């Protein structure tokens, strides 16, 4: 979106079409626009929260607050790349359910922590491969495929578990969701930070990242410029599946139990996070720093409202309104200026 707008602005301004030798880095350009707006919103919410509740400004309660977004953000990083490439995966929460069920079954059978982790990651990868194969091999629209697999994956969990639950996870496994690396820094938050850096580099500093933008902006042009479009998309679906597997490990370890309804509706929160982070739902534009800030903003909103005893369902009004408002505002301002 921002790329094409830049071109349009240039064309209008000079009257002739000029093609820059080098585009401004997407990172720098985005940091000046959307991300700074979001950052201001985030800081405002932070200040409001610290006035609204006396319990907010303490290291431990802020540390607790991070659990509101770390698992979702892990998926959101991969989802951001997928949406930039013009696809979407609505099955992520169901992948969590299936991976968690698989781990639960293995734990019940007496598997140790390393095996459980491998099973979680493997299930995620398999689910991602299934989505990716349907999209790239059969050329199906990803939104429909993943609405289907969303029912299918969670459906398998329901078949296996019914109204039961898996509980017997080894104590060492629970560290992934409840352990602390250093003082108030939880394992989940540390992993979130490391993944943010890895995905930031992947999208903004590698050839693969450029290919992701190219595929999202114009898949046909990308194909003719030598990018293996199906392979890029397949990789992104695998990556999203893998990150869902990682999130499944963290969430299962944190909750200490698995029910088929685990992470129900999380896909919408992940998409909200990605879109709030400035990633164009139409593909071709977006940045990882934006998603990171959006993760913090959403986490702070839910945690702050939680401290004020606002019920979760009312919070969803805020997140829903935030999603629409943050996207509508720049568009309305642009319309009003014209």
Partner 1 sequence: MNIRNIPREAILGLVIVALCGVIAARFPAFVRPSNLLSVATDTAPLIMLALGQFAVILTRCIDLSVAANLALTGMICALLNMAMPGFPMVLMLALALVIGAFLGAVNGVLVWKVGIPPIVVTLGTMTVFRGIIFLLSGGSWVNAHEMSDSFTQFPRIPFLGIELLAWIAVIAVAGVYLLVTRTPLGRAFYAVGGNPHAAVYTGIDVGKTQFLAFVLSGALAGMTGYLWVARYAVAYVEIANGFELDVVAACVIGGVAIAGGAGSVGGVVLGALFLGVIKNALPVVNISPFWQLAISGAAIIIAVALNARSNRPKGRIILKKAEHSHEPV
Read off the tokens for 317. Answer: 């009004």
Q: 110 or 139: whose CB is closer to partner 1? A: 139
Of positions 33, 122, 179, 230, contacts partner 1 by CB under 8 A: 230
- Does position 34 interact with partner 1 (CB under 8 A)? The reply is no
Of positions 229, 250, 292, 294, contacts partner 1 by CB under 8 A: 229
CA 38 to chain centre: 16
What is the CB neighbour count within 10 angstroms for residue 205? 12
- Does position 337 interact with partner 1 (CB under 8 A)? The reply is no
* Residue 101 near residue 160, CB atoms below 8 Å: yes
* Residue 85 near residue 232, CB atoms below 8 Å: yes
Q: How far is Cα 111 from Cα 225, in angstroms, rounded to an integer?
A: 48
* Residue 279 near residue 212, CB atoms below 8 Å: no
Handedness of CA 274, 280, 284, 288 (dihedral sign): negative
Q: How far is the CB of 178 from partner 1 (least distance, A)?
A: 29
Q: How far is the CB of 153 from partner 1 (least distance, A)?
A: 7
Q: Is 181 helix (H, G, I), strand (E, B) or coil?
A: strand
Of positions 228, 257, 308, 333, contacts partner 1 by CB under 8 A: 228
- Does position 8 interact with partner 1 (CB under 8 A)? The reply is no
Strand partners, 186: 180
Q: 249 or 285: whose CB is closer to partner 1? A: 285
- Does position 338 interact with partner 1 (CB under 8 A)? The reply is no
- Does position 70 interact with partner 1 (CB under 8 A)? The reply is no
Return the residues of window 88-147 that contact partner 1 according to CB under 8 A: 88, 132-134, 136-141, 143-145, 147
Region binding partner 1 by CB under 8 A among candidate stretches 52-60, 185-193, 230-238, 300-308: 230-238
Return the residues of window 300-329 that contact partner 1 according to CB under 8 A: 311, 313-317, 319-321, 323-324, 327-328
Q: 27 or 133: whose CB is closer to partner 1? A: 133
Look up residue 25 and give its DSSP letter: P
- Does position 290 interact with partner 1 (CB under 8 A)? The reply is no
Read off the tokens for 45. Answer: 């919410």
Closest CA to 209 of 76, 49, 77: 77
* Residue 264 near residue 256, CB atoms below 8 Å: no
Read off the tokens for 64. Answer: 């607790």
Q: How far is the CB of 14 from partner 1 (least distance, A)?
A: 26
Q: How far is Cα 284 from Cα 273, in angstroms, rounded to an integer?
A: 17
Q: 45 or 315: whose CB is closer to partner 1? A: 315
Q: How far is Cα 286 from Cα 26, in angstroms, rounded to an integer?
A: 8
Q: What is the dihedral of CA 315, 320, 326, 329, to 10 degrees?
A: -120
- Does position 79 interact with partner 1 (CB under 8 A)? The reply is no
Q: How far is the CB of 231 from partner 1 (least distance, A)?
A: 5
Region binding partner 1 by CB under 8 A among candidate stretches 156-164, 191-199, 241-249, 300-308: 156-164
Binding site for partner 1 (CB under 8 A): 88, 132-134, 136-141, 143-145, 147-156, 158-159, 161-163, 220, 223, 228-231, 233-234, 260, 268, 271-272, 275, 281-282, 311, 313-317, 319-321, 323-324, 327-328, 331-332, 335
């Amino acid at each position: 979106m921002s790329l094409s707008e830049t071109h349009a602005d240039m064309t209008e301004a000079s009257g002739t079409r000029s093609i820059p030798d080098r585009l401004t880095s997407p990172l720098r350009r985005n940091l000046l626009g959307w991300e700074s707006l979001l950052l201001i919103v985030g800081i405002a919410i932070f200040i409001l929260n610290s006035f609204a509740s006396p319990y907010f400004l303490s290291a431990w309660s802020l540390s607790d607050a991070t659990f509101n977004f770390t698992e979702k953000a892990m998926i959101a990083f991969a989802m951001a790349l997928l949406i930039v490439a013009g696809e979407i995966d609505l099955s992520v929460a169901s992948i969590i359910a299936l991976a968690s069920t698989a781990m639960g079954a293995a734990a019940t059978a007496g598997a140790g922590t390393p095996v459980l982790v491998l099973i979680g990651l493997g299930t995620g990868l398999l689910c991602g491969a299934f989505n990716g194969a349907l999209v790239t091999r059969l050329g199906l629209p990803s939104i429909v495929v993943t609405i289907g697999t969303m029912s299918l994956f969670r459906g398998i969990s329901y078949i296996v578990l019914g109204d039961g639950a898996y509980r017997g996870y080894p104590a060492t496994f629970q560290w992934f969701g409840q352990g602390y690396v250093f003082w108030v820094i939880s394992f989940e938050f540390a992993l979130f930070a490391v993944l943010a850096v890895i995905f930031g580099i992947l999208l903004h500093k590698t050839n693969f990242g450029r290919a992701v933008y190219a595929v999202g902006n114009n898949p046909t042009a990308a194909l003719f410029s030598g990018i293996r479009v199906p392979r890029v998309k397949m990789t992104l679906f695998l990556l999203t599946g893998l990150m869902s597997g990682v999130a499944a490990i963290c969430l299962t370890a944190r909750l200490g139990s698995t029910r088929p309804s685990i992470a129900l509706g999380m896909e919408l929160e992940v998409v909200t996070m990605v879109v709030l982070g400035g990633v164009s739902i139409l593909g071709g534009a977006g940045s990882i720093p934006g998603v990171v800030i959006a993760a913090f903003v959403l986490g702070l909103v839910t945690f702050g409202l939680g401290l004020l005893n606002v019920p979760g369902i009312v919070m969803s009004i805020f997140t829903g309104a935030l999603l629409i408002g943050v996207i509508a505002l720049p568009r309305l301002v642009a319309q009003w200026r014209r």
